[in-house]
Copies of this chain bind each other. A is one copy, B any other.
Amino acid sequence: MIELNPIGFIKNTRKEIRDDHWGDIESEIVLTKQFSPEALAGIEEFSHAEILFFFHQVPPEKIQIGSRHPRNNSGWPKVGIFAQRGKNRPNRIGSTIVRVIDCKGTHLRVKGLDAIDGTPVLDIKPIMAEFLPKEKIVQPTWSHEVMIDYWDTTPED
């Protein structure tokens, strides 16, 4: 068993879980009281950061350990939970590369973080080009289809 503590929490305008339309969401990551501004010193020199967070609203009984249709859409093939990025996964960790907007004290502002308000953050890492894939990305058709509206802006209600 591995025990983790949130290093911060996400503040944004997205109060409910939604599949799509994360494109224009700005978030603030507020570090917990354990940390001083020193912990984020230098982060603004990076254009992008990777945010690891905990899908805290997924109840343990909803976790999938086998395979399923992504988003339960039978139009897409049944694939293993480790071959998709859905939230109902073992350990419930999300990982997203975001744009760094700015940092004030222990508050880091980012764009493109697909997590709702109140989400516990587990880690923040700077993106270095050397850690990105060097070769062409190959991925199945369904995975492009899942993403069509994902980074789109929020439609007007």
User: Which A residues are closer than 8 A to B by beta carbons?
Assistant: 1-7, 34-36, 38-43, 45-50, 52, 54, 65-67, 77-85, 89-91, 93, 95-97, 99, 108, 120, 122-133, 135-140, 143-144, 146-147, 150-151
Contacts and interface: CB of A to CB of B under 8 A. Distances in A.
A138 B4 CA distance: 30
B2 A90 contact: no
A25 to B, nearest CB: 15
19 contacts: A2-B4, A3-B3, A5-B91, A38-B67, A39-B66, A39-B67, A40-B82, A41-B83, A45-B140, A46-B143, A47-B137, A47-B139, A52-B95, A91-B122, A93-B93, A97-B131, A128-B137, A128-B139, A129-B139
B5 A3 contact: no
A123 B84 CA distance: 11
